[in-house]
Copies of this chain bind each other. A is one copy, B any other.
Amino acid sequence: MSQQDWLPPAVRASGVERRLKAGQALFRMGQSPVGLYELVSGSVRLVRVDSSGREAVLFTAGAGDTIAEASLFSSSYHCDAIATTNSVVRLYSKPAIIAAFERDPKASQAFMAVLARRIMNLRTRLEQRNIHSARDRVRHFLTVNAGADGRTVVLPGTVKDLAADLGLSHEALYRTLSEMAAEGEIERLKGRIRLTS
Residue positions of A touching B, CB distance < 8 A: 46, 48, 50-52, 54, 56, 58-59, 69-74, 78-79, 98, 101-103, 105, 108-109, 111-113, 115-120, 122-127, 129-131, 133, 136, 140, 167
Contacts and interface: CB of A to CB of B under 8 A. Distances in A.
A125 B126 contact: yes
Contacts of A59: 123
A30 to B, nearest CB: 14
Nearest to A55: B130
Contacts of A119: 69-70, 115, 118-119, 122
A58 B109 contact: no
23 contacts: A52-B133, A56-B130, A58-B126, A69-B116, A70-B115, A70-B119, A70-B120, A72-B112, A73-B109, A73-B112, A98-B109, A101-B105, A101-B112, A105-B105, A105-B108, A115-B119, A119-B122, A122-B123, A125-B126, A126-B126, A126-B129, A129-B129, A129-B167
3 A-B pairs with least C-beta separation? A56-B130, A70-B116, A122-B122
A76 to B, nearest CB: 11
Contacts of A111: 112
Nearest to A72: B116
A171 to B, nearest CB: 15
Nearest to A71: B116
Residue with the greatest number of chain B CB neighbours at <10 A, chosen from A51, A72, A116, A125 = A116
Contacts of A140: 50
Given A101-B105, A109-B101, A54 B123 contact: no
B58 A123 contact: yes
Contacts of A98: 109
A98 B51 CA distance: 42
Contact of A130 (B46, B50, B79, B118): B50
A54 B131 contact: yes
